[in-house]
Amino acid sequence: MRSPLAFLSAVVVFTSHGFAAADANWGAYLGDSGGTHFSSLTQITPANVARLQPAWTFRTGDADPRNRSQIQCNPLVVDGVLYGTSPQLLLFALDAATGRELWRFNPFAATPAETNRGLCRGLSWWAEGRERRLMFSAGRYLYAVDPATGRVIDSFGDGGRVDLLAGLDRDTTGLYLAANTPGAIFRDLIIMPMRVGEGPAPAAPGHIRAYDVRTGQRRWIFHTIPFPGEPGAETWPTDAWKTAGGANSWAGLVIDQERGLAFVPTGSTAFDFWGGDRHGDNLYANCLIALDAATGKRRWHFQFVHHDIWDRDLPAPPVLCEVMRDGKKIAAVAQTTKSGHVWVFNRETGESLFPWREEPVPKSVLAGEKSSPTQPFPLKPAPFARQRFTEAEVTDLTPAAHDAVLAKVRAASPHVPFDPPSERGTIILPGFDGGGEWGGAAVDPHGILYVNANEMAWVLTMVPAKTDAKPGSAPALYAQLCMSCHGVNREGNAAQNIASLTGLAQKSNAAAIVALLGTGRGVMPSFGFLPEEQKRVLADFLLGVAAAPGESAVAKVEPAGTGAGVSPYATTGYNRLLDPSGYPGLRPPWGTINALDLNTGEYLWRKPLGEFSELTARGIPPTGAENYGGPVVTAGGVLFIGATKDEKFRAFDAKTGEKIWETTLPAGGYATPATYSVNGRQYVVIACGGGKLGTKSGDTYVAFALPE
């Protein structure tokens, strides 16, 4: 492995490379329009980072006392003002040097009962002349806010906001949509990502749209599920454009401002794990798409998974970078994946800069499914997460842990990459949350990429969805709509913030459940498309209410979603493969931070990220831990990252990977930090929202700096 170039020489940074010029601001989501997570600030270095101390702390005051809220926001800092969001998606502005609140905006002031608020991973900033706009998403709405006052700009959209569920060129009444990740700014356009439903029920299509930042008018749309006559339509059934959902960019996108290109990563098509109603490769799902940012016209695309039945969404925005090939600099775009790979492409042509090939993969045995016979495999760089779960990878923390996990592994299908979902049980490694996740990667001006990884196996088990019940019956509705999250026994999943439905009669009533099915809440999507009678039948079932004598708990209407995504299968839930003590079922490391030279495809270093103090106390070296949120790297040679269950915030020497500082946060920092400068003093700030992986929720932003 070769050494990276000296960081302290990286003072001049060129905007054409996707980097912001030397700048005190953190003026875009993930640092700049190229998503690089890079700052050219140099005040904090490996030599002095150990002297960091809290400079200010700000509490929003609205964390969920049930520990179900989070803050995933990567804040903006522009001209000494920090803009961020709270656990309940209140937008605020702070003095970035002191943490003093300047204003606060509540998008739900007129609708306080609205529960489906979603998440907010960041904000968008637009400026031209003397005009300034802060673009902010809450639930399904995009707002334009005056950054000086915190008031909506009434001339934008309908009284300051645009309904993103409208304007998808299809009837989306009652379907779920939220914009968790900020839009990308190009000239006077904002190009929007969005989250849609992924289960075996009707889902909104994931078409990419650009809006005028002044008026809110839709300026262009790219159909990720192609309409008749559009390129890619041949990879779907004839009428799929009318009913298929997903193929959306929930992770966010980046812009090459000089070339006028938008690089859009997309996810899978609904239903995630059975595609018998969508035979074909399903373009443009699971693709990196290069679009003309001004018009939405496709320049090129690459599909990472054909006919996805593994939930292999592209999990993060790509990063723009420059790499050397044969002594020449090439403008590149690098995409991380849930499978733990890094793909690198020529930005202009879409040519892969490393070799890859199509390889045969196992065939699905589920009824009605036609899986793809081949999938693309990169030959270099090597993956940054393990690809096979063999018996040799089973945990050896204790003999009892080993035996328990080994039994689970032997009960499932023998693991190979792209092993299709089955009723026996399929091991997914890397798991549903990566490999790489939504925090994404950082890259410096020399083409060194830094990415954190999860090393967690999950087990996916398919079950017949209709059981012995009639279509439209309560058990069939639960299997189709609820089981994949809440599980066969309704126990939920604390690590995923999914509530248990056991004992629901002591906590709720039929009217409240019917209302919730119509709106969704938190990570729960809306099922507004359900007829009222089906909502009532499902509510009674969840409450344990028996049907009246002589009746069966069957809605006197067609099954939910008939003709639009009905699946003969459901899943038993998103289940991590754990040992009896709750630790990951494979050998450590369970979480890592990696440095990869994109010029050569070789890794410079790999280190565990996170630890379990009780295991360290037993003499076990730090194992790493599951992690959510990305890194930031600076020209000063320091990499900062939170992300871990142990609620720590850490600094690593970017050149060597040595851990050179850590501190304990008030709650887990499941967010990407930001770094900026005010009056010549460099700060590093992170949102401490907790609430993931069973950890407590928080409501705090903490900024660190060297002593004055």
- Please report which confidence band the pLDDT of residue 552 belongs to, taking 50, 70 and 90 as the band edges: very low
677-683: average pLDDT: 98
* C-alpha radius of gyration, the chain, whole number: 24
Same-domain pairing of 532 and 434: no
pLDDT at position 277:
95
Residue 236 placed within a domain: yes
Q: In what order do the strands lie in the sheet with 261-265?
A: 254-256, 261-265, 287-292, 298-303
Q: What is the 3-state secondary structure (H, E, C) of 545-595?
A: CCCCCCCCCECCCCCCCCCCCCCCEEECCCEECECCCCCECECCCCEEEEE
Q: What is the 3-state secondary structure (H, E, C) of 46-87?
A: CCCHHHCEEEEEEECCCCCCCCCCCCCCECEEECCEEEEECC
Residue 2 placed within a domain: no
Whole-number Å distance between alpha carbons of 384 and 593: 9
pLDDT at position 113:
75
Which carries the bigger pLDDT value, residue 309 or residue 117? 309
Residue 179 placed within a domain: yes
Contact 654, 595 (CB under 8 A): yes
Same-domain pairing of 507 and 448: no
Residue 677 placed within a domain: yes
215-240: average pLDDT: 98
Q: Where does 200-327 show beta strands of DSSP type E?
A: 208-212, 218-222, 254-256, 261-265, 287-292, 298-303, 319-325
Same-domain pairing of 204 and 268: yes
pLDDT at residue 547 above 70?
no
Q: For residue 532, what are the domain limits?
A: 466-566
Same-domain pairing of 554 and 595: no
pLDDT at residue 141 above 80?
yes
pLDDT at position 546:
61
Whole-number Å distance between alpha carbons of 119 and 671: 12
Q: Which of 366, 177, 374 lies closest to 277, judged by CA?
A: 366
In 197-282, alpha helices (H): 240-243
Question: Structurally, how many domains does the chain consist of?
Answer: 2
Residue 572 placed within a domain: no
pLDDT at residue 550 above 80?
no
Same-domain pairing of 250 and 273: yes
Same-domain pairing of 98 and 237: yes
Same-domain pairing of 169 and 281: yes
Contact 570, 465 (CB under 8 A): yes
pLDDT at position 564:
43
Contact 207, 250 (CB under 8 A): no
pTM of full prediction above 0.85: yes
pLDDT at position 560:
41
Give residue-wise pLDDT tens across range 333-365: 999 999 999 999 999 999 999 999 999 999 999
Q: What are phi and psi of 633, to 5 degrees?
A: -120, 145
Same-domain pairing of 560 and 701: no
In 127-189, alpha helices (H): none
| Final residue of a structural domain among 523, 544, 566 | 566
pLDDT at residue 44 above 70?
yes
pLDDT at residue 9 above 60?
no
649-671: average pLDDT: 98
Same-domain pairing of 413 and 329: yes
Residue 549 placed within a domain: yes
Give residue-wise pLDDT tens across range 565-616: 468 999 998 999 999 999 999 999 999 999 999 999 999 999 999 999 999 9
CATH number at residue 548: 1.10.760.10
Same-domain pairing of 455 and 562: no
Same-domain pairing of 487 and 457: no
The secondary element (H helix, E strand) that includes residue 308 is: none
Same-domain pairing of 599 and 550: no
| Final residue of a structural domain among 566, 594, 625 | 566
Q: Which of 211, 198, 208 lies closest to 244, judged by CA?
A: 198
Residue 402 placed within a domain: yes
pLDDT at residue 488 above 60?
yes
pLDDT at position 335:
99
DSSP 371-434: --SEEEEE-SSPPSS-----GGGB--SSHHHHHHHHHHHHHSPPP-TTPPP-SS-EEESSBTTB
pLDDT at position 551:
45
Classify 511 as helix, strand or coil.
Answer: helix
pLDDT at position 513:
85
pLDDT at position 541:
85
User: How are beta strands 208-212 and 591-597 bridged, if at all?
Assistant: unpaired
Residue 228 placed within a domain: yes
- Please report which confidence band the pLDDT of residue 17 belongs to, taking 50, 70 and 90 as the band edges: very low
Q: Which of 97, 276, 7, 110 lies closest to 677, judged by CA?
A: 97
| Final residue of a structural domain among 566, 593, 623 | 566
Give the number of other Cβ atoms within 10 Å of residue 608's Cβ: 18
